Every structure is written in C-alpha cells, then in structure tokens.
Amino acid sequence: MGITGGDANLGLAVLSSVTDGDIRRAKELMGDPTLCTVELLDSEAKLHLIVEGTSNQSHAMVEILDTHSNFSRIVKDDKLLLDKEIEVGGGEVPTDRSLLNVRDILAFADSVSVKDVEPILRPQIDQNIAIAEQGLSRDYGASVGRMLMANFGNAVGNRARATAAAASDARMGGCQMPVVINSGSGNQGIAASIPVIVYATHYDLPEETLFRALCVSNLIAIHQKTSIGLLSAYCGAVSAACGSGAGITYMLGGDYEQVSGTIINSLANVAGILCDGAKPSCAAKIASAVDAAIMALTMSFGAFRFADGDGIVKANVEKTINVVGNIASEGMRKTDITVINQMIR
C-alpha cells in the first residue's frame, strides 16, 4: 500500500486517503513474489523497522525505532536526510503513569467532571459503535461478530462480545472508518469501550454513568499496558477487555473489591493469548477476551475470585497486574521473536 497510495503527511492516518484503485494495484503487485522480501531484524528494540526501496535508479531507506511514527534515519540516493541518535527505548513517549492503581482509578472516575472527559469519550462512543454497526451489517474478515449474533442469541453478554468483534472484523477487514484507540491500538480501543457501551445501553443507564465507567475501563487497560509495554507477544485484547470488565463492574454498582475480583478472574483465565499481528483473527480474540471478562465479573459479583497462589494470581490486584506485566514484557521476549519468525516464513 505504501507504493500505490497513502499520504505520508497524515502520520498514523497515512492510509486514510487510499482509494479502491490503490488497493487493486497493491493486490496486483503482491502477485509478484520478487517485489518484496521480509527478514527478521536483529535488534533489542521491541519496535524496530528498516525499510529499503529501489525504483529505476533511485534508492531510499527509512528506519523507525520504538514507536510507529518515530523516524530515526532517512537516506535517499546515499544522501542522509535524517539521522537521530536514539538509544533503544529512548524513542518511547515518556509518560508518568506511576500514580495509576485500581483504587485511585475508581476514585478518579467517581470525582472527575464529566465535561473534562467528554471530548475524549464522546468520539470513542460514537466512532467505535459506528464501525461496529458497519461490521454487523456486512461481511468483513471472518465475520466473527455476525456469526456470534446469528448463532448465540440477543442476551447482553453475547451482544457485548459480538459487537466488539464486529468492530474488529471491519477494522481488520479494510474498513476505513475511524476508531478511537487505547494504548496506541484500535483493537484495544474497541475492546476497552464497546462492551461497556453495550451494557450501558441494555440497562438504560444515564450517560454520565457511562462516561465514568469508560474512565475506569480505559484507565484499567492503560494501567495494565504500563507494565506490559507498548508492544509484546501478549495479546492486548486481553488487557483491554479486562478493562471493559472492570468498567462494567463499576457501572453496575461494584465496589473496589468486586472490580479487583473481575480483573483478577479475567487475567487468571486468558492472560496467555498470543499476539501474532493485526489480522482478521483479532476479532475472535476480542470475543474470547470479552467473554472471559463477562464471566469474571459474574464470578466477582457472586463473591467468587481466584486466590493467591492459583497459578499467576497473587494476593491482590496490583501484584497480579505486575506479574502479568512481567510475563508479557520479559518472559515473552523470546516468544515474540519466535512468533515473528514463523509469520515471515
């Protein structure tokens, strides 16, 4: 797609200007096995790309390090256009998240002025539901969301997972509608918000309650990603859907212990799901993670939670989140390399 279309001036929205003709041309080019080769880059960075292209007598090289739009080096026809000295990890956005913890997130959601968060959360509601409706109305990818709605009924739990999956179906299937992200990911933005919105609609809850619950779901997702890291072989749908479960628990009157129980129960269940890139099966992973979050909150409201020592579960929610983060960021480093190697073979 970078050859046939797109606008580099739009940053992460680079593909928003792509036309049907650009897509057709890209598919034609993909028919040539000699056009492009992909190899694993030997690097300590979690995100490190070097892309080289040759056309006629011209040659260009671009290097990206740590974050998706952090260009560290650009060379064209042997002329150095950009060369930033960046240590591995030095290109990540330095955001202080040391204050994030479940108890204070709930306190923030209780006390924040809705008018302060509405400019962020209103687009998340409108845009993420809009792409979900698109995914439910026609076939994208493997049509996970449509399949769930057609086969598992209209109960709120199924609608929550199906609607979230449908949004991912559309996004992974090439729909160009916008999505409000979480932790740098559209799929995580979908998983962190849509189940909460579906439950709020089902129970006809006030809009203010929904906004406060979305504060919980988004911040719990971000809290988990702080220790997991920007990129990992750990599936971000798990942490995002876990955030949704926490938000729904809060929205339905759950206290700190019940919200904590939802998080622990969810992570004890599906923390092992792998990330193997952005593709149609992300919708199925979102559905599975949302399903686990719904089971987790149902258990928590019934006073059931996994106990300290049940596998990776620790004595409290913060310790459990930290353990999962350590597994994802440190324990899965080799897993990440192995997964990428398998994908490019």
Residues 200 and 288 grouped into a single domain: yes
Residues 171 and 284 grouped into a single domain: yes
pLDDT tens digit sequence for 279-295: 999 999 999 999 999 99
Alpha-carbon span 305 to 265, nearest angstrom: 6
Instruction: Establish if 29 belongs to a structural domain.
Output: yes
pLDDT tens digit sequence for 144-171: 999 999 999 999 999 999 999 999 999 9
Residues 51 and 14 grouped into a single domain: yes
% of residues, the chain, pLDDT over 70? 97
Instruction: Establish if 335 belongs to a structural domain.
Output: yes
Instruction: Establish if 89 belongs to a structural domain.
Output: no
22 lies in which domain range?
Answer: 8-83
What average pLDDT does the structure give for the chain? 94
Cα–Cα separations (whole angstroms), residue 160 to 47, 155, 273, 286 = 32, 9, 20, 10
Stated pTM of the model: 0.91
Among 130, 119, 113, 128, residue whose Cα is nearest residue 208 = 113
Residues 78 and 107 grouped into a single domain: no
Alpha-carbon span 319 to 300, nearest angstrom: 18
Residues 190 and 249 grouped into a single domain: yes
Cα–Cα separations (whole angstroms), residue 117 to 6, 58, 124, 244, 250 = 32, 48, 11, 17, 17
Instruction: Establish if 3 belongs to a structural domain.
Output: no
Query: What is the total count of domains within the chain?
Result: 2
Alpha-carbon span 104 to 195, nearest angstrom: 22
Instruction: Establish if 88 belongs to a structural domain.
Output: no
Residue 85 has what pLDDT? Answer: 79
Give 13's pLDDT tier (boundaries 50, 70, 90): confident
Residues 141 and 289 grouped into a single domain: yes
Residues 327 and 224 grouped into a single domain: yes
Alpha-carbon span 253 to 259, nearest angstrom: 10
Instruction: Establish if 2 belongs to a structural domain.
Output: no
The predicted model gives 67-84 an average pLDDT of 92
Select from 83, 114, 137 the last residue of a domain.
83
pLDDT tens digit sequence for 214-258: 999 999 999 999 999 888 899 999 999 999 999 999 999 999 999
Residue 344 has what pLDDT? Answer: 86
Alpha-carbon span 170 to 283, nearest angstrom: 9
Q: What torsion, rounded to 10 degrees, do the Cα atoms 17, 132, 247, 303 define?
A: -150
The CATH code of the domain that includes 191 is 1.10.4100
Residues 46 and 168 grouped into a single domain: no
pLDDT tens digit sequence for 297-320: 999 999 999 999 999 999 999 999
Residues 290/160, Cβ–Cβ less than 8 Å? yes
Residues 274 and 311 grouped into a single domain: yes
Residues 210 and 281 grouped into a single domain: yes
pLDDT tens digit sequence for 136-149: 999 999 999 999 99
Instruction: Establish if 204 belongs to a structural domain.
Output: yes
Residues 75 and 117 grouped into a single domain: no
Residues 234/327, Cβ–Cβ less than 8 Å? yes
Residue 28 has what pLDDT? Answer: 93
- CA atoms within 13 Å, Cβ hemisphere of 88: 8
Instruction: Establish if 92 belongs to a structural domain.
Output: no
Residue 91 has what pLDDT? Answer: 52
Residues 78 and 162 grouped into a single domain: no
